């Protein structure tokens, strides 16, 4: 079999150039359509005493966004909002929520599109709080 090494090399170079090897002319790497280290942009969670909405943007594992929580008590619903920053690495998530009353750090695990946060309670216990993809309308409906 007669192989033309020059044409084989040229074909290989063209294939690598077309694929780009993840390198482009600009400085940002190519990110797959479904980012591995990213939260779903809108998550909603609830338990018998509260409902929570998390809206985030994840860029290269860095999280920014907001958290809105409505807690239900005898005095009626009480809403709180916080700004969020954090990081996601693989399935591990750390969020810092800055409320008007202070900052709370949440750690959690991302399994597919479900985020489970370990939430510190007033009595010192840690409670798992599960959030799944949803919408702001879901949050509004559940907190009404």
Number of folded domains that form the chain: 1
- CA 134/CA 43 separation, integer angstroms: 5
Instruction: Quickly list DSSP for 29-56.
Output: PP--SS-TT---SEEEEEETTEEEEEEE
Question: Residue 113: which domain range?
Answer: 42-143
Confidence (pLDDT) at 36: 58
33 domain residue, yes or no: no
Residues 117 and 136 sit within 8 Å (Cβ to Cβ): no
Confidence (pLDDT) at 76: 87
99 domain residue, yes or no: yes
Whether the full predicted model's pTM is greater than 0.85, yes or no, is no
70 domain residue, yes or no: yes
73 domain residue, yes or no: yes
Confidence (pLDDT) at 106: 94
20 domain residue, yes or no: no
3-state secondary structure of 28: coil
107 domain residue, yes or no: yes
Residues of the chain with pLDDT under 50: 1-25, 30-34
Helices marked H in the chain: 5-19, 136-143
CATH number at 99 reads 2.40.128.120
Confidence (pLDDT) at 122: 84
């Amino acid at each position: 079999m007669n192989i033309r090494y020059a044409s084989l090399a040229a074909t290989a170079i063209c294939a690598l150039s077309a694929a780009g090897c993840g390198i482009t002319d600009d400085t940002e790497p190519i990110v797959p359509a479904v980012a591995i280290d990213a939260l779903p942009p809108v998550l909603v969670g609830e338990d018998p005493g509260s409902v929570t909405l998390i809206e985030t943007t994840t860029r290269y594992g860095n999280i920014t966004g907001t958290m809105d929580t409505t807690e239900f008590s005898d005095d009626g619903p009480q809403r709180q909002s916080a700004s969020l920053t954090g990081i996601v690495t693989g399935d591990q998530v750390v969020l810092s929520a800055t409320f008007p009353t202070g900052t709370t750090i949440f750690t959690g695990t991302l399994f597919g599109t479900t985020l489970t946060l370990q939430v510190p309670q007033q009595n010192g216990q840690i409670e798992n709080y599960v959030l799944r993809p949803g919408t702001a309308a879901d949050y509004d409906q559940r907190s009404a």
